[in-house]
Amino acid sequence: MNSKKLGLLLSVPPTHASVETVYRLSRAALHRNTEVYLYLIDEGVKNISDARYQELATNGVKLFACAYGCQQHHVPTDGIHSKISLCGLVVLSGIIDACDQFLAFT
């Protein structure tokens, strides 16, 4: 049986309450053996160095950050966690298509 796939989009800065919501939702989904795909875009890329999100990447969340968003928001990408991928919107499109459910936190 194939596992369920959950796609999440986060576009808000670290100070927004949705950052914690997405973290907790991701952890809960992992505990239910759901594959989690998380895409950081716009101000969401500012969460790239958050220890909680690095933990998610280490524990199995497929975490992607918009390379253009990092550039636009002056988020340094040197030395980012090895399990976080910098990419473009084509990856986001693939996540949306491949997941059973997709939630956007904007």
Does the reported pTM lie above 0.85?
yes
- In Å, how far from its chain's centre is CA 86? 11
Homologous superfamily of domain range 5-105:
DsrEFH-like (3.40.1260.10)
Q: 73-90: buried (b, 16+ CB within 10 Å) or exposed (e) per residue?
A: eebeeeebbeebebeeee
- Digit-coded pLDDT (tens) for 5-63: 999 999 999 999 999 999 999 999 999 999 999 999 999 999 999 999 999 999 999 99
pLDDT of residue 2 exceeding 70, the answer is: no
**Residues near 20 by Cβ (< 8 Å), separated by ≥ 6?**
none
Domain ranges of the chain: 5-105
Sorting pLDDT into bands at 50, 70 and 90, what band is 3? confident
